[in-house]
Structure 1
């Protein structure tokens, strides 16, 4: 069970890139992202109404900024960077810098500890991702400014992750997810209307792509992201992101017949090793902190009895 949630997160987060490829065959990123969040918002609002959940002012203050950063800006940067000609491999490599950024900011600003073992794990994870995407570097035909789009998206996701970690959420997770999703829906709807791309494609492929990104990538991927963030912390969630490029590569190979080169296979193995090293180091660090807290509080940690 300890591995079930991280495994589900890796698979579901990776599904977003597969859904983007499905949608790119029949529509524009503006259209797909708009309808993804419009449909998801409608479903979440219905669930909140049916279960009697209230969206408080505190929930709005916390989750509207997170929705702007972690859903609207992040996805807009990634999708439109690819549309502008940046290669998918380059975008994947830029996104893989997010765990390193979160770890560094955590050390400098949040005073989180990072053992040498955890640092080695991060380095191995980044090295593995670099191997996976190395063949695609320089393959894009984008202008220089286009590379700022995925970089901006990655920075927005990292900033949102750090903000969410710095102020723990004591409210309802579903209500928070609803606010973030509605925030992104408003942003992408305005964007699509201004661009003249709001009309959906009347095809089964489009409907299937929307269903894919709503259920798997949206509810599944982002839902498990928030749950892991609340239970495991920002550094652990970010480290797991290292596994999404190789997972996406395998998924794409099985679904679309995309070839996987030897460098990619080696990178997958290195990334997996790096994440395992990092997670083990974090568990040891947490266990040590709890033991120290137990000694300082006479057998209690954070006011709770030790089981």
Structure 2
């Protein structure tokens, strides 16, 4: 993931820029559940991820070729490497863990602890120190996530390596995020880098899906709705806003917004699938909001 960093003064001139980007990031990040809920009824997770990444890459390809600087082989190599980390290993690792019967609530909790891992890595790698207030906000946000996720937590009977896989997938994305912020030697617009990353992911997901059967998608309405949702919102919106935010703001501040993903996911489930909301979810949402505000406040 390369960097086309905008001048830092850009963010300071637009006080509403971060709230806007954070809101879009939370919407995109939490919406992946919705697309999977629709599309996973009749397709394996690997087949679903193959078509999600393939369609995303193919849609972006003409724009990547026509708009922006020429793409060198070095840039393709670097973006493909980050695609392996941030797309294939991150998404695929959690998908494989769920298939191995790791409880979904536990997988989601570990995934949502991503900002904590990024906060820990940002100081030694980037030199971005968190203040005492930001560490306190991080702790409060983690408590809020635990409150929201408590009812769905369980340990299940999956093999030990599957639990380790969930932690490893989260840490890999944390490392990729920090490297994205640090690496400024190549200059590539987000639509070009995301195109290469998703196409790289589609190749690897396609190989995995082939071991389970055919690559032909189910021709159903739910699968189509799920794909549209996953491509447009969970991929284009979430990844594009995330990468753009990393170029404008400290990585720990950007990642802190992800703490709000669990409670917003609960709202998605309530609005679209009539899943019940509990008092604990609202308490967790308020606690998480306080933590994210403390972590993100300049």
If the length of structure 1 is used for normalisation, what is the TM-score?
A: 0.87
For residue 53 of structure 1, report the CA deviation from its aligned partner: 4.9
Contact 1:44/1:178, CA 8 A, preserved across alignment: yes
Q: 1:138 aligns with which of 131, 138, 154?
A: 154
**Structure 2 residue aligned with 1:202:** 219
Distance 1:51 1:160 in 2: 25
Q: CA RMSD in A?
A: 1.6
For residue 51 of structure 1, report the CA deviation from its aligned partner: 3.2
**Structure 2 residue aligned with 1:48:** 64
Higher mean alpha-carbon deviation, 138-147 vs 16-25, is at 138-147
**Structure 1 residue aligned with 2:112:** 96
Matches within 5 A, 1:1-40: 1-2=16-17, 3-40=19-56
Q: 1:250 aligns with which of 263, 267, 280?
A: 267
Unaligned residue ranges in structure 1 (runs of 5+): 284-307
**Structure 1 residue aligned with 2:210:** 193
For residue 151 of structure 1, report the CA deviation from its aligned partner: 1.5
**Structure 1 residue aligned with 2:231:** 214
Matches within 5 A, 1:1-307: 1-2=16-17, 3-51=19-67, 53-138=69-154, 140-168=156-184, 170-280=187-297, 283=298
Distance 1:146 1:235 in 2: 27
If the length of structure 2 is used for normalisation, what is the TM-score?
A: 0.89
For residue 139 of structure 1, report the CA deviation from its aligned partner: 5.9
Distance 1:77 1:133 in 2: 20
For residue 141 of structure 1, report the CA deviation from its aligned partner: 4.3
For residue 209 of structure 1, report the CA deviation from its aligned partner: 0.9
Higher mean alpha-carbon deviation, 59-68 vs 69-78, is at 59-68
Contact 1:40/1:218, CA 8 A, preserved across alignment: yes
For residue 195 of structure 1, report the CA deviation from its aligned partner: 2.3
Contact 1:165/1:230, CA 8 A, preserved across alignment: yes
Unaligned residue ranges in structure 2 (runs of 5+): 1-15
Contact 2:112/2:261, CA 8 A, preserved across alignment: no
Distance 1:76 1:249 in 2: 23
Residues 92-123 of structure 1: per-residue CA shift (max 9 Å, x gap): 21012221111112223332211111001100
